[in-house]
Structure 1
Amino acid sequence: MLCSTCRLRPPVTDDGRCSNCAGPAGAAAPVPPAPAFVAPQQYLRSPDGLAKALVVLLSLVAVTDLLAVAAGLNLHGLITDGLANDFETYDESAATMADNLYGSAGVLQGVMMLATGIVFIVWFRRVRLNAEVFDPSMQPMAPGWAVGSWFVPVANLVLPRRIAGGIWTASAQTNTDGSWRTVPATLMNLWWGGWVCTLLFSWTTTRLSRRAEEVEEIIDATELTMASDAFDVVAAVLAILFVRRLTRMQGERAALGTYPLGTRA
């Protein structure tokens, strides 16, 4: 039997240590130093599930926009036909139904936009946190701005695009030899341009619709609203392409295997 500590000499103490390891009589065994605190690692989290949900929601947004266009065309046709003959053959019940359908389509649009906006911000935050793992030096703002930037008046026309640019650049670096890789940001710019134009378009049409009182003003506001809804379909398609592309880029970046992957929340 050998010393329980050094495994070289026979034990001489009750706890199985040799004379060298036991030291002076009654001396306690050396206590190993406590391990230093290690900060928890950053983890990558897959944005795939959120991206799939977002694609579905954006598709539904496009569908509700098309329904709104159809309802607008129906209402527009009734009003213009009535105006053509001084409303002599104007069907009041049909006009009321058309107006209700038009209003219901607008409510449905609002609900879908709200749900989509929430999921989009959650996805945007996820890809921003991943970009912090990929390359924090490329991020122009702190991770919290991935959420907060959308709620700053006027600045929300610029700040989210800056954040998206940092995410895009960090996610594009998949060259294993360390060389710099540049992925054209055309799709990202189209997405952002579509979003800003839709926002401004919607704001303008809402103001005109609220002010419209005369029949001609109502017709003009309805036409502009239909154009806004049609443009929103284009913006939704561009957003789908952007979400899918950036999500795929992050998957390729994570596949390099040089980052601590995990499932921590």
Structure 2
Amino acid sequence: MNCAVCGGHVPADREYCAVCGGRAMPADWLDNTGVVGNPGAENPGNAPELDVRRALRPTRGLGIATVVLLLSFAVIRALNTLVQLRLFVVYGDALERSRSYWDMEFLPSELFELVFGVLAVPVFVAAVVMFLIWLFRVRGNAEMLDPEVHRRKKPWLILGWIVPVVSFWFPKQILTDIWRASRPGHVRGDVESSFEYKGGLLWAWWLVFLAMMSVDRAHRVVTYTHTGVERNQFELPGEEALALYHDLALTGLLVSSVQVAAGVLAALVVRRITNWQHQARQDRHGQSDPVGAVAPH
């Protein structure tokens, strides 16, 4: 195994070079990805450098698939927002007339609420899986572009989302490092300040994502407020049940709106990083390929 950055020898049981932190790769693979000659372990200081742009893996297909799934989820939740708004108005009008929920006719909006709720689950799962696949791909490319800016090891690309406490900032750090390494004009090994790297889009997505994780639990809080410990929603009297579903509609309106914003912002982040890495990969030919990007810059 040889280092993809300095070309030096890396033991088989190590993933990164102890000298420069570069990623270890088979020597014959490096010969096909930009290393001229056959660098040896005896003289790593004189080893030829790797043209990292030639070693970048394609991101266009994964980027397009991820963006499509994220936007599909956002569209479904946007439609659900309209449904929740309609239910909030209808339930509110019924409350003013002191009606019982159990005496009301079945509403078409309630059917749409069920359909969109069921449909959102597989789309969301597919979007999460595709996003993680894309994340591993762009992280590998970002390590090629600059191995020195990454603060978290690769296992945290998954663990960072599920381990308590650190999940509040590890994923943002990982995306920030990928963003910095991929951004055109980035100086290799230079860790810019938050202002200099212009990551406002990343911050907007991350804050909205945290908000989405928080408000998503609001349904349980609202339900518990109305039912308490000993009852469930189906045991409530008619007017109390109507008040519960009226509050749940308002909560659903809030939750769906935040989910729409999170999905759209995530798609923009994926598009931006994908385009940057696609452009870097195309630059090895001395020209860009705007048609191949997910969207224009």
- Asked if structure 2 preserves the Cα contact closer than 8 Å seen for 1:140 and 1:163, the reply is yes
Distance 1:149 1:91, change over 3 A: same
Equivalent of 2:165 in 154, 167, 178: 154
Shift of 1:136: 1.0
Shift of 1:99: 3.1
The more displaced of 138-147 and 168-177 is 168-177
2:206 pairs with 1:163: no
Query: Aligned pair count?
Result: 221
Shift of 1:206: 4.0
Question: 2: distance between equivalents of 1:180 and 1:173?
Answer: 14
Question: 2: distance between equivalents of 1:99 and 1:129?
Answer: 45
Question: 2: distance between equivalents of 1:210 and 1:101?
Answer: 25
Using the size of structure 2 for normalisation, the TM-score is 0.65
Unmatched tracts of structure 2, length 5 or more: 1-25, 34-54, 228-239, 286-297
2:122 pairs with 1:111: yes
Report the equivalent of 2:85.
73
Equivalent of 1:84 in 92, 96, 107: 96
Q: Deviations over 1:148-185 (max 9, x none)?
A: 22222332221111111111111125469999985411
Report the equivalent of 1:232.
259
SS in 2 for 1:250: helix
Larger-Rg structure: 1
The percent of aligned pairs where both chains have the same amino acid is: 27
Question: 2: distance between equivalents of 1:82 and 1:130?
Answer: 57
Distance 1:45 1:210, change over 3 A: farther
Report the equivalent of 1:252.
279
SS in 1 for 2:284: coil
Equivalent of 1:194 in 200, 208, 232: 208
Question: 1: distance between equivalents of 2:187 and 2:165?
Answer: 40
Question: What is the one-letter code of the residue matched to 2:96?
Answer: A
2:156 pairs with 1:145: yes
Shift of 1:112: 1.8
The more displaced of 157-166 and 175-184 is 175-184
Using the size of structure 1 for normalisation, the TM-score is 0.72
Question: 2: distance between equivalents of 1:172 and 1:203?
Answer: 36
Two-structure CA RMSD over aligned residues (Å) = 3.0
- Asked if structure 1 preserves the Cα contact closer than 8 Å seen for 2:92 and 2:246, the reply is yes
2:161 pairs with 1:172: no
Equivalent of 1:57 in 48, 58, 69: 69
Distance 1:252 1:174, change over 3 A: farther
Question: 1: distance between equivalents of 2:270 and 2:69?
Answer: 12
Shift of 1:64: 0.8
Question: 2: distance between equivalents of 1:155 and 1:88?
Answer: 46
- Asked if structure 2 preserves the Cα contact closer than 8 Å seen for 1:45 and 1:130, the reply is yes
- Asked if structure 1 preserves the Cα contact closer than 8 Å seen for 2:78 and 2:256, the reply is yes
- Asked if structure 2 preserves the Cα contact closer than 8 Å seen for 1:173 and 1:180, the reply is no
Unmatched tracts of structure 1, length 5 or more: 1-36, 259-265
